[in-house]
Structure 1
Amino acid sequence: MELVCPAGNFPSLRAAVDAGADAVYIGFRDETNARRFPGLNFDPETARRGVAYAHERGRRVFAAINTYAQAGRWPEWEAAVDTAAAVGVDALIVADVAVLDHARRRHPDLPLHLSVQASATNPAALRYYRERFGVRRAVLPRVLSLAQIRRVAGEGDLPLEVFGFGGLCIMAEGRCHLSSYLTGESPNRNGICSPAWAVRWSQTDDTVEARLNDVLIDRYGPGEQAGYPTLCKGRFRVPGHAGGRAFHALEEPTSLNSLACLPELHAAGVAAVKIEGRQRSPAYVARVTAVWRRAIDHLLAAPARFAVSGEWQRTLAGLSEGTQTTLGAYHRSWQ
C-alpha cells in the first residue's frame, strides 16, 4: 500500500519525502491543476529539482493536470503534459479525456492515473478509461462507502487509490461549479474555488468577517478559528431553520480521517492512500505524512494486530479543518 502525499511547493515536497511518503503529487503554476493558489505550485525548473530530490531517495513524483481544458486555450493543457514529461515525473494525474488522449499519444511510456476529478465510481467507467487510454491507476471520489469500494475493487483489475486524510468536500469531485456563481471561477475549470482576488477579510469591533466577491460568507467571534472562505463551508441564515441563527447550511468545516478503516481498505486491495492538502504548509505535510507512514508500516508488518494509536489520532485531530474529523462516506451504517 503506497502513501501518496501533497506537495504544493518544493519545501512541502522535501518535507513529504523526508517524512516517509512513497510518492508526492505536484501541480504547475497555471489553471491546469485544481489547487491554483497564489504562491503555490511549481515552475519547470523547480519541478525538475523536486523530481531529482525524490528520485535520489527512491520516491516518485506525480503531476496533477486535473482540470478540464477550456475552449480556445487547449495549448496550455498540452504544454503542461509535455512539461511534466520533460522534467521526468513518474505519472500524470488527469481527468479530461482530451488531456488523457494527448498524453497517451505524445508520451506513450508515461503512466496515466485517473484523477478523482473524473468522478469514475463504478467498474464500467474504470474499464473504459483503462481500455481507451491505458490508465494504470484510478483515484476514487470521496463519495463511496467502504462497501462500494470493495465492490469496485472486486469487479475490476485497475489499481485503486483512495483518500485517507484531509479536507472533505460534500460535492462530487469533478462536478462542482458552486463557487462560479459568486466568482465566475470553479476548481474544475480554473483550478480554485475561492480565488485570492475575491477573498476579503475585515475586522469590526470584536468580530472578523470573511467575504467572497463582496458576499458575506462567515463572521467569527473572539477566539473562533477562521478557515479559508469557501461558499460551501460558510454560515448562512436560512428562513425557518436554526431559529434564524446563521449556521453551516451546506457543510461544516471538517477533515476526513480514515485511519480506523485502514485494515479494511488494505483487505479490499486498495493500492494507495492519498493525503489531501497541496495548499497546506510544509509543517502540516511533514506531520501528517509521518503519522500515516507509521500507521501503514504497522499495518503491513502485522495486519491482524493493527490498532490505531491514540497519539496518531490526537496529532491528526489537531491538524484537521475545523479541528474535527470524520469517516465521511466510508462509514454508512445502513449499507
Structure 2
Amino acid sequence: MLRDNIPQLICPAGSLPALKAAVDNGADAVYFGYKNDTNARNFAGLNFDDKAMREGIRYAQSRSREVLLAINTFAQPGRDADWQRAVDGAAELGVDAVILADVGLLDYAARRHPGLRLHLSVQGSATSYEAVNFAQREFGVRRAVLPRVLTLAQVENVIRNTTVEIEVFGFGSLCVMNEGRCWLSSYATGESPNTVGACSPAKYVKWEKSPGMMSTRLNGILIDRFGDNEPAGYPTLCKGRFEVNGATYYALEEPTSLNVLEILPEIAEIGVAAIKVEGRQRSPTYVAQVTKNMRAALDTLASEGKRYQVKQAWQAELAKVSEGSQATLGAYSRPWR
C-alpha cells in the first residue's frame, strides 16, 4: 500500500484569503512571500506585510499545517542586507521552513540560524543529485524543489541518489525555461523574476483596446492580440503569438497547465516527498479549487492504492482554472526518449 508514502500537498498563497483557502481545503503546507523583491512573485497587490504574515502563520499552524516562506530571488549587488533581513525575519516569525535559491543567502541562513529548516528553491535550478547533495553538504538543505524540466525517470534518479527530500510541481502554469535561468523577461525589459521578482513586471505591461480587438504589449513589444470574445492573457514573452515566416502562432510555448493526476501513483511510488501547486499570483478561488481536488486525489490514492483511478469530476474542476485550453504532463512524460 502507498498510504505511508503519500506526498505532502504544498499550495500557494499570494494573499491572506488565498492562504486560508488552501488551509481550509486540505493543503498540508502553504508557501508565501514578502511584499518586496526578495520574492519571485513580487506582483502589485499581492503578498504579505508583517501583520498579514503573522495572522497567516497563526491560522495555518493552529490547524497543524506548515508554513514555508519563499525568499527565492537573488540578492542584488550592494543590497545583501535586504535579503539577510528577510531571512532574519523568517526565523523570528517561526515559519516551518525558508525556501532559498541564492547560495550566499543559504550560507548566511545556515550560519546565522542553524535551527532554521532550509529548502532549496526551484529558482536554484538543481537538476541533478550532485547539485542537491552540494546544497545539503554545504548548507544543510533538507528539501529541494526540482525544476519542471526533468522526466519522471530523471526525478527518480535524483531521489535514489540523495537523502534530501524532493518536491516537484504537480499543477499550474509551465515555463519553457529551467527555472532560475530565465532570460526572456530580461531581454524584453531588463528585469527578470530572478532579480526583481516578477516575470513581465506590471510597469512594462500595456493593454490597448481597439474595435473588436485587445492588444497586449511588454515594453513596447507586441505580445498578442485577442478578439472581443477571446480571453486576454497576461503578456509574457514566452507565451506570446508571433509572426514567423508569414504564419502567426505560439512560437515558444502554448499556454497550457501541468496536471499530474494520472501519474500520481508513479510520483508517490518513486518517493517524492511533496507535490507543489503553482499559482501565488492566482485568486483564492483558484487556490481553493485546485487544493480541494488535489487533496481528494491524494486521499483516494492513499485509500485505494493500485486501484486508484482519476475521477472525471476532478479533471473537470481543474480544467476550469487551467491556463490555456489543455493540460499536459510536461517534461515528466517523454515517450519518445
Question: Smaller-chain TM-score range?
Answer: over 0.9
CA displacement at 1:11 relative to structure 2:
0.5
Q: Where does residue 207 of structure 1 map in the other structure?
A: 213
Shift of 1:221: 1.3
- Distance in 2 between residues matched to 1:215 and 1:188, nearest whole Å: 21
| Deviating more after overlay: 204-213 vs 214-223 | 214-223
Q: Which amino acid aligns with 2:300?
A: H
The partner residue of 2:280 within 264, 278, 281 is 278
Alignment of 1:226-237 (within 5 A): 226-237=232-243
Measured against aligned partners, the alpha-carbon deviations of 1:191-231 in whole angstroms (never above 9, x if no partner) come to 11111111111111100000111221100013112111101
Of the three residues 31, 36, 39, the one matched with 1:25 is 31
1:151-300 equivalences in 2 (<5 Å): 151-239=157-245, 244-300=246-302
- Say if 2:307 is the partner of 1:305: yes
Q: TM-score, normalised by structure 2?
A: 0.97
Amino acid at match of 2:238: C
Q: Which is further off, 148-157 or 1-10?
A: 148-157
Of 102, 108, 113, which aligns to 1:102? 108
Figure out how many residues of one structure are paired with residues of the other and give that number: 331
Residues of 1 paired with 2:159 and 2:142: CA distance?
14
Identity %: 59
Kindly indicate whether the alpha-carbon contact (under 8 Å) linking 1:176 and 1:186 is maintained by their aligned counterparts in 2.
yes
Report the secondary structure of 2:61's partner residue: helix
User: 2:194 aligns to what SS in structure 1?
Assistant: helix
Q: In the TM superposition, what is the alpha-carbon distance from 1:323 to its structure 2 partner? A: 2.5
Deviation beyond 3 Å, 4+ runs, structure 1? none
Deviation at 1:245, TM superposition (A): 2.8
Partner of residue 319, structure 1 = 321
- Ranges in structure 1 where 5+ consecutive residues have no aligned partner: none
Map Cα deviations across residues 293-313 of structure 1 (whole Å, 9 max, x no partner): 011111112211110010101
Aligned to 2:3: none
Where 2:119 maps in the other structure, the secondary structure is strand
| C-alpha distance after superposition, 1:56-90 (max 9, x if no partner) | 10001000001111101111101111111111111
Distance 1:4 1:258 in 2: 14
Let me know the Cα RMSD of the aligned residues: 0.8
Distance 2:185 2:298 in 1: 36
The one-letter amino acid of 2:106's match is L
Specify the alignment match of 1:57 in structure 2.
63
Whole-Å separation in 2 of the counterparts to 1:154 and 1:181: 38
| CA shift for structure 1 position 41 | 0.5
1:44 paired to 2:50:
yes
